[in-house]
Amino acid sequence: MLGAAMKIALAQINPTVGDLAGNRRLAEEAASRAADAGADLVVLPELALTGYPPMDLLERDRFVDDQLAELDELAKASQRIAIVVGAVVRTADARPKSIENAAVVLAAGRRLTHRSKTLLPTYDVFDEQRYFANAKDRTPVEIPGLELPLGLAVCEDTWFQTRPYPVDPVAELAAGGAALIVNPSASPWHVGKARERRALLADVAKRSGRPVVFVNQVGGNDELVFDGGSCVIGADGTVQLAMPLFEPGLAIVELPTRRGGDGTLGLALGAGRALADVVDPSDVEQLERGLVLGIRDYFLKQNLPPGAVIGLSGGIDSAVTAHLAVEALGADRVVGIAMPGPFSTDHSIEDAFELGRQLGIHVRRADIGPVYDVYRQLFAKLFGARDDYGLTQQNIQSRIRGAILMACSNEENRLVLATGNKSELSVGYCTLYGDTVGGLAVLGDVYKRDVYALARHANRHAKERGERIPLRTIEKPPSAELAADQFDQNDLPPYDILDDVLSQAIEGGKSRASIVPPPGCSDEVAQAIFRRLDRNEYKRRQTPLVLRTSEKAFGGGRRLPIVHRYTG
């Protein structure tokens, strides 16, 4: 190590799952930039070469070997700078699981050593015990040119206090002589996650008496969004460096060194910022930026041309979805289709086209009345003639619209973005094969209250730049407009009550008997909401991929049986 300081580069990159060569090139570019800036070491995220999570790609016969070949290619870049990179390695013994999730050290053009992950998360969206073997021991590493021993702790290894884990990897590394904890991670985002992470890492640093370098990936991979937020935490729990959220980047931290009275070398960090002094974007700003990143990467990483199509009802959900799509893809790649039916109001169609003008997107009109009339004639033959077919005729309108959107998808190779929110999906206030069609459910983890917050946030510059979402769309009572004088409030409790009960049940994990009715809500109504939540699991299994914004989203992180009789 040259001089009296160690310079470490934090490479916050956006890998794509399975793009082994592309991810290796991202790592090479980061290493080159770090070396040019005079860094001694560059740290990349967990499983940076495979992308996270690789899931059952790990079980394909050539996947791990192909990744190891890219790792050896990346090692060439370590002639100029030492590299710590997350990668899959094979176990050294004949255990049943033959691969490990490791932090690999590359130096002097070769693989020097690695340290594997001890704590394999198997909860919510994580399923690492399905694939990986745990590390058998935890010892610091010494890298030529760096005088300080490093403790490599991969992602969950710093989260030991959050679960009843039998091992504290950081404590063992500190006891073994590590002067610095390096934490390559792939830590998924939800609103407020960066703040939670820094608090946890500050606790880890203070408990161990060691600074922590945390490097997180950024970008969207399927339903997961990664926010970056890489940081350096001093041994006193202060923040020495905090990188931006939702953006790739490279930052270099200089860690001064000093010799103690016993001759050992340690770190002498100056005073950093208190945790409270690190200001993240507001919750609604995080929500918008996270969803935009999730949409953008879902398209870009699949090379989906030419863009998205959205059914525009004149309501707030479709308006916010369209706004987010434009922010992610650009107005030229988003098309809206207004599909008035027999119960559509004039103002809804007007609002749909006004939204198009304000967002700069092309909006087409496709009246569903003639198709609906044909269905009515068919119903008369199937079910007998009558004036009103109730829910049957309501749902068929939604399914006609879904079919039109899918026709546009087929004809123009566009991805349909579903517009339903978490409140509606929770209680089944949606139509299978109707408004649930599509390739991505943008708002599927966003409660109605937060949809309104997103809409107001979209209009935050209305005085200077004009509205993004028509004010009338935000202010009018929400309605599916599938029947005369139909409003959401006729079928659902007020959204503030609905969302309160749902968040207790979903994010809070409460059973029906434990739900505390919010003000203005009877116990009977709260119980009815919970019953609807359970009863509509079958619908959620058939909806598009939901972008995760909370600690408990519909999808891989929430696994409930469709058929069950538990009522507690």
Is there a domain that residue 496 lies in? no
Tell me which H or E stretch contains 104: strand 99-107
Dihedral over Cα of 78, 84, 189, 210: its sign: negative
What 8-state DSSP symbol labels residue 544?
P
State which of 239, 257, 277 marks the end of a domain.
277
Q: Are residues 295 and 201 in the same domain?
A: no
- Which ranges of 232-310 would DSSP assign to H, the alpha helix? 283-300
The two beta strands, 224-227 and 334-338, are unpaired
Sequence-distant (6+) residues with CB within 8 A of 279 are none
User: In angstroms, what is the C-alpha Rg of the chain?
Assistant: 26
Is there a domain that residue 117 lies in? yes
What 8-state DSSP symbol labels residue 273?
B
State which of 277, 304, 325 marks the end of a domain.
277
Query: What's the total number of domains in the chain?
Result: 2
Q: Are residues 272 and 309 in the same domain?
A: no
Question: Cβ distance 177 to 142 under 8 Å?
Answer: no
Q: Are residues 236 and 291 in the same domain?
A: no
Is there a domain that residue 495 lies in? no
CATH number for 97: 3.60.110.10
Q: What is the pTM of this model?
A: 0.95
Whole-Å CA distances, 96 to 1, 99, 129, 141, 472: 40, 9, 12, 27, 61
State which of 229, 246, 277 marks the end of a domain.
277
pLDDT at 1: 42
* b/e sequence 380-405, b meaning 16+ C-beta within 10 Å: eeeeeeeeebeeebbbbbbbbbbebb
Sequence-distant (6+) residues with CB within 8 A of 50 are 15, 17, 18, 20, 23, 57, 58, 63, 67, 87, 88
pLDDT at 265: 63
pLDDT at 267: 78
CATH number for 371: 3.40.50.620
Sequence-distant (6+) residues with CB within 8 A of 343 are 397, 481, 482, 483, 484, 486
Q: Are residues 313 and 266 in the same domain?
A: no
Is there a domain that residue 508 lies in? no
pLDDT at 529: 97
Q: Are residues 299 and 391 in the same domain?
A: yes
* Measured distance CA(422)–CA(443) in Å, rounded: 7
Tokens representing 105 are 């050290």
State the virtual CA torsion across 328, 332, 336, 337 in degrees, nearest 10.
-150
- Averages of pLDDT over runs of 10 residues in the chain (568 residues) are 76 98 98 97 98 97 96 98 98 82 98 98 96 96 92 98 96 96 98 98 96 98 98 96 97 85 68 92 98 98 93 97 98 98 92 97 97 97 95 96 98 97 97 96 98 97 90 92 83 95 97 95 96 96 97 94 90
Is there a domain that residue 457 lies in? yes
Q: Are residues 86 and 210 in the same domain?
A: yes
pLDDT at 463: 83
* Measured distance CA(474)–CA(351) in Å, rounded: 10
Give which of 562, 563, 564, 548 is closest to 126, Cα–Cα.
Answer: 548
Tell me which H or E stretch contains 348: helix 346-359
Is there a domain that residue 261 lies in? yes
Is there a domain that residue 513 lies in? no
In a 13 Å sphere around the CA of 179, the CA atoms on its Cβ side amount to: 19
Q: Are residues 463 and 364 in the same domain?
A: yes
Question: What is the domain extent for residue 388?
Answer: 286-478+536-546
Whole-Å CA distances, 487 to 128, 339, 390, 428, 490: 45, 18, 15, 16, 6
Q: Are residues 321 and 249 in the same domain?
A: no
Label residue 309 exposed, middle or buried (CB < 10 Å: 0-12, 13-18, 19+).
Answer: buried
Tell me which H or E stretch contains 105: strand 99-107
Give which of 113, 57, 54 is closest to 89, Cα–Cα.
Answer: 113
Sequence-distant (6+) residues with CB within 8 A of 329 are 295, 296, 299, 307, 308
Which residues are identified as catalytic? 46, 117, 155
Question: Cβ distance 440 to 544 under 8 Å?
Answer: yes
Sequence-distant (6+) residues with CB within 8 A of 263 are none
Question: Cβ distance 250 to 9 under 8 Å?
Answer: yes
Helix/strand/coil for 311:
strand
Residues 421, 411, 320: CA angle, nearest 5 degrees: 25
Kindly tell me the number of DSSP H helices and DSSP E strands found in the chain: 17, 20
* Measured distance CA(486)–CA(364) in Å, rounded: 25
Question: Cβ distance 89 to 114 under 8 Å?
Answer: yes
The two beta strands, 239-242 and 231-233, are antiparallel
Whole-Å CA distances, 58 to 221, 226, 563: 16, 21, 31
* Measured distance CA(295)–CA(449) in Å, rounded: 21
Q: Are residues 260 and 346 in the same domain?
A: no
Q: Are residues 342 and 213 in the same domain?
A: no
Q: Are residues 83 and 215 in the same domain?
A: yes
Tokens representing 417 are 């973005």
β-sheet bridge partners, residue 266: 258
Is there a domain that residue 113 lies in? yes
Q: Are residues 116 and 247 in the same domain?
A: yes
